Structure 1
Amino acid sequence: MALLDRIGARDAKVAVLGLGYVGLPLAVTCGKAGFAVLGFDIDPTKIVQIDAGRSYIEAVSDADLQALTGSGHLSATTDFTRLGACDVIVICVPTPLTRHREPDLSFITRTCDQIAACLRPGQLVVLESTTYPGTTTGPVKAILESGGLRSGQDFFLGFSPEREDPGNRAFTTATIPKVVAGDGAQAQALVEAFYGAVFERIVPVSSPSAAEAVKITENVFRAVNIALVNELKVIYDAMGIDIWEVIEAAKTKPFGYMPFYPGPGLGGHCIPIDPYYLTWKSREYDLTTRFIELAGEINSAMPRHVIGRLAEALDQRLGRALSRSRVLVIGLAYKKNVPDIRESPSLKLIELIGERGGVAEYHDPYVPAIPRTRAYGPLTGQASVPLERDIIAGFDAVLISTDHDGIDYAAIAEAASLIIDTRNVFGRLGLPMDKVVKA
């Protein structure tokens, strides 16, 4: 097989479609493995930054970009007609939910339309975007075959779920085991050869649907367990028991227990979204996903629970109504030490404080201003306030939503009148707890 030989010799040209948190690290990793990579994105500002060797993602350094662009192993474009010159095409575009919590495959389908317009015999197309089982061999395959070429005969199709974890310094893209599957034996051989040349370890499975189910299973597992500890947090709080103390003691058991931690709600591009893809698909088989849906309800309710605790604490400790209070939210990103705000519960917390008549501002060293989002348009442009003692003292309460490591929590402990801690950061750091309410 000619393409198999070119992959083995690193002569195959790789296209990565979507240069975000998944696509750019993958493009760089492929370039480091010796492939010539052409990145595609609809955002021209990303192309300019890549060409200039300036990374906009923490997982990719400027030095890596500059080395790869300088050597010719990486370039980027908005011109999708150049797909025909590529041998391996990898799709890394978003898969959000609609307002009705149903899969939104519009990014995938539009991308596949662009590929289909340029598709030629001998190419390998791999979907990495998280989706429900059956997407690759269903709508993706149908669109790619619409021009007359056939999967497994003229071109080859596969699925390999992305497993990026922004902010996790223990693993790089190349060191995370890579699940791979192809549509047929030839596609399987190509997918294994390509990813085997880029990643330290590949994990072949029997079909694209099985590979799609792997990623969904990983995120359902996390969503359900986070929902469990969030529910336990509410129950134990009513009993006067500290959930954080319970978890710390429980995790000393060397078998049969894995710690998960509560928080103000779920965020990120995976856990709040991906389980609903399986929920939606299961209806096709007249099956319900009660665990998944219940977990979604619990996790979605957490921001309102936190605001309820905030309002109660303001009233009981300061004699102030939330409607007359100013609240400083610490952390806008959905997880610590990253700038990613996708599905961040902090945005919901700010919105809920406003709905209750309060004023909410935020501090986040990674997010200088709130970018435009689909769900929180009115918050666009709001800037992060400096974390100075006199500014902290000007707020009625400080709400810890995201526990970035670089925050001066000692200054907050000293200057704040009231602290609502959703991450147990003050307990972990051994700071004074007299002003702290855990939520």
Structure 2
Amino acid sequence: MPADLAVIGLGHLGLPLAQAATAAGIGTLGYDPDPHAATPSGADGPLSATEIRRLLAAGFRTTADPATLGKVRTAVICAPTPLGTDRALDLTGIAEAARTLAARLRPHTTVILESAAYPGTTEDFLRPLLEEGSGLTAGRDFHLACSPSRHDPGNRIHRYRNTPKVIGGLTPACTEAAAAFYGRITDKVVRARGPREAETSKLLETNYRHVNIALMNEMAVFCHDIGVDLWDVIRCAETKPFGFQTFRPGPGVGGHATPIDPHHLSHKGRSPSHPLRMVELAQEVNGRMPGYVIQRCATLLNEHGKSARGARILLLGVTYKPDIGDQAASPAREIGSRLRELGAHLTYHDPYVPQWRLLDRPVPRADSLYEAAAAADLTVLLQPHRTYDLQGLAVKAQLLLDTRGATPTGAAHRL
């Protein structure tokens, strides 16, 4: 089957798109310049041999040959845009994908950006690279649009097909071209006024999550200080049928969808006059949570006549979400590193992570969960995977700190 679609980048954004397109009968090509990286593995973990065979049988294939990009009608850029040390998005991956695609870009091709980016990236950053490298004009010779990814790893209800897709094209014709493509793989297409509105909708969705989690994290610290059961407070509050959406605190906020403050408009060399102060504060609050967990660990050990130095501590669940293997920005890494710095002897258990390293040093993996919990001075639940019997774990553990409020009431010390 000839390829109709090129997915540039096969990580946590590109692989779900490739799977959905292939399932819809679209000839799909996965491109990555690194031949070792051009293997199907995304946010839900590496595909099984059966899943790979099914994809290949349906027409999907991967390649590191850029020449193949000139033979498709639609190209979707799913390059990673990680946060740099300055907390700004690194657009290098988008730039490399754009230059590679531009050299092979044909008239009438539809180019779509799914990578996380700032408002204005499609028009002010991606468009010039495509036009300069191809000699074509966006909106006239080829279609250009933005459709931010909404993939939620591990979500068994909201999959690619039933999650509405927001699309903003450079021109109305660009929007319709992108809508025609996504209409083949999603049930609902939502047309934005343009690329900036589509990009900013992703900004709002991501920042909404982080700001609300930050509120709950502050409530967790506050309620612990005044002796109030936060988890019972949440249980009561979420019965309100209007004006309240439940969020829960935790040891930190992980994941690929990092909060974005548009004052980091590095590619434009300027900042808006009104930065998002609530986003900055949310980042500060959420960034403090790993340290707060460490504080709670030390306090619990002290209350039981033990010190963090030399204590045997078992960490349960080191991924950023339950029931998947993705460790992107998981707070477990900072928590584990800081516990080691305090002199604790760490072990971990996670059914989705066969090996785990901190600062290039391996962390021993517990083979028997209950035996490890019984032997540990402190067990810290960081991610409540469904495979964990939390009631049984609470019985076996000498001391259990639940950072997710997942254990039965009274069975553990909660965040």
Distance 1:388 1:196, change over 3 A: closer
Could you tell me how far 1:399 is from its partner in structure 2? 0.4
The aligned residue for residue 25 of structure 1 is: 16
**Offset of residue 68 of structure 1:** 3.7
Shift of 1:79: 1.5
Partner of 1:39: 30
Residues 303-341 of structure 1 show CA distances to partners (whole Å, capped at 9, x for unaligned) of: 000100100110012x11111212110001001001010
- Counterpart position of 1:211: 198
User: What one-letter code is carried by the residue in structure 1 that aligns with 2:88?
Assistant: E
Aligned position for 1:280: 264
Aligned position for 1:322: 308
Whether the aligned pair in 1 keeps the contact of 2:10 and 2:42 (CA below 8 Å) is no
Match of 1:437 in 2: 413
The answer as to 2:60 corresponding to 1:74 is yes
Q: Assess, with a 3 A threshold, how the Cα gap between structure 1 residues 286 and 20 changes in structure 2: closer, same or farther.
A: same
Residue identity matched to 1:412: L
Q: Which amino acid aligns with 1:86?
A: V
1:24-423 aligned at under 5 Å gives the runs 24-45=15-36, 47=38, 50=40, 57=44, 63=50, 65-71=52-58, 73-147=59-133, 148-270=135-257, 273-276=258-261, 278-281=262-265, 284-317=271-304, 319-370=305-356, 377-379=359-361, 381-382=362-363, 384-423=365-404
Look up the equivalent residue of 2:102 and give its one-letter code: A
Distance 1:316 1:56 in 2: 39
Deviates more, 1:147-156 or 1:291-300: 147-156
Aligned residues: 411
Offset at residue 43 of structure 1 (A): 4.6
1:410 positional shift? 3.7
Q: 8 Å contact 1:59–1:167 — kept in the other structure?
A: no
Look up the SS of the partner of 2:161 in the other structure.
Answer: helix
SS at match of 2:260: helix
The residue matched to 2:254 in structure 1 has which SS?
Answer: coil
- Aligned counterparts of 1:220 and 1:415: Cα–Cα separation in 2: 39
CA distance in 2, matches of 1:257, 1:56: 30
User: CA, structure 1 residues 55+353, in 2 after alignment: closer, same or farther (shift >3 Å)?
Assistant: closer
User: How far off its partner does 1:57 sit?
Assistant: 3.8
Does structure 2 conserve the Cα–Cα contact (< 8 Å) formed by 1:279 and 1:292? no
- 1:18 deviation in Å? 1.1
| Runs of 5+ unmatched residues, structure 2 | none
**Deviation for aligned residue 1:31:** 1.6
8 Å CA contact 1:131, 1:274 repeated in 2: no
Q: CA deviation at 1:183?
A: 0.8
- Comparing 340-349 with 177-186, greater Cα deviation is found at 177-186
Question: What secondary structure does 1:186 align onto?
Answer: helix
CA distance in 2, matches of 1:367, 1:423: 19
Q: Which amino acid aligns with 1:292?
A: V
Q: Secondary structure at the match of 2:249?
A: coil
Shift in Å, 1:139: 0.9
Check 1:384–1:44 CA distance in 2 against 1; reply closer, same or farther (3 A cut).
farther
Check whether the contact 1:25–1:59 (CA below 8 A) recurs between aligned residues: no
Normalised by the length of structure 1, the TM-score is: 0.88
User: What RMSD, in angstroms, separates the aligned Cα atoms of the two structures?
Assistant: 2.2
Q: Which amino acid aligns with 2:344?
A: G
Higher helix share: 1
Residue 383 of structure 1: how far off its partner (Å): 5.0
Q: Which sits farther off after the overlay, 232-241 or 284-293?
A: 284-293
Cα distance, 1:11 vs structure 2: 8.3
